[in-house]
Amino acid sequence: MDSPSPAPSARTAVRRQPDRGHYDREQVHAVLDEGLVAHVGLVTDHGPVVIPMLYGRAGSRLLLHGSTASRLMRGGAKGLDLCVTVTLVDGLVLARSAFHHSMNYRSVVVFGRATPVTDLDERRAALDLLVDHIVPGRGPDVRPPSEKELRATLVLALPLDESSVKMRTGPPIDEEEDLDRPTWAGVVPLATVPGAPLPAPDLRGDAEVPAYAARYRRPGLRPE
């Protein structure tokens, strides 16, 4: 069972437009479950590094994976502070003035120190979760990782204790004096829309497109 939503920390408290900040776990989880790419940052001896990565969520932990040769993954395994962000863009907000153009978005920021997943069975389960996060239902159809592949992969578990959501929804907010301008204003909604699955050129046999690929969609409802 997930623990109660914590109060914002000094790092997660939203200071710029604090009314857009949220800290309850349900909203954090909803954004993470819909997103596909996390930007993971840490400070190394050679300066800051930010890398886009696939991820998955297991309860109140964020799971990251990468090569054991990865500088970022090795740093995370050593206990360096990580900052992870996941952003969903829901619409382009077109105002009557250039200054008030914006986006409707949902963005999660997570701070913390990760723990490496050392047990091979737990690591295998984490990689299965990562596959199903990207394409729900895909895991049982594919060859599981070999022991060699498992040992070549580093998995980090980052607690979601220090996390927040910032979001914007709704129409543009224009100055009163601009409302009479003969300029269209409104929102252009954006969504992840999958196309028709394309078979691999070396696909053998008569394998049909599985339903999870033919009917693929990301979870969650996008606000207008």
Stated as kind and residue range, the H or E segment containing 90 is strand 81-94
For the question of whether the overall pTM of this predicted structure is more than 0.75, the answer is yes
CATH number assigned to the domain covering 18-174+209-214: 2.30.110.10
Which residue from 160, 141, 151 is spatially nearest to 55, judged by alpha carbons? 160
- pLDDT value at 212 more than 70: yes
**What is the number of alpha carbons within 13 Å of residue 93 lying toward its C-beta?**
19
Residue 1, pLDDT > 50, answer no
Find the mean pLDDT for residues 197-205: 92
pLDDT per position as a tens digit, 158-196: 999 999 999 999 999 999 999 999 999 999 999 989 999
CA–CA separation, 123 vs 133, rounded Å? 15
Residue-wise DSSP of 97-126: SGGG-EEEEEEEEEEEE-EE--SHHHHHHH
Report pLDDT digits (tens) over 112-145.
Answer: 999 999 999 999 999 999 999 999 999 999 999 9
**Domain boundary assignment for the chain:** 18-174+209-214
- Overall average pLDDT of the 16-40 stretch: 85
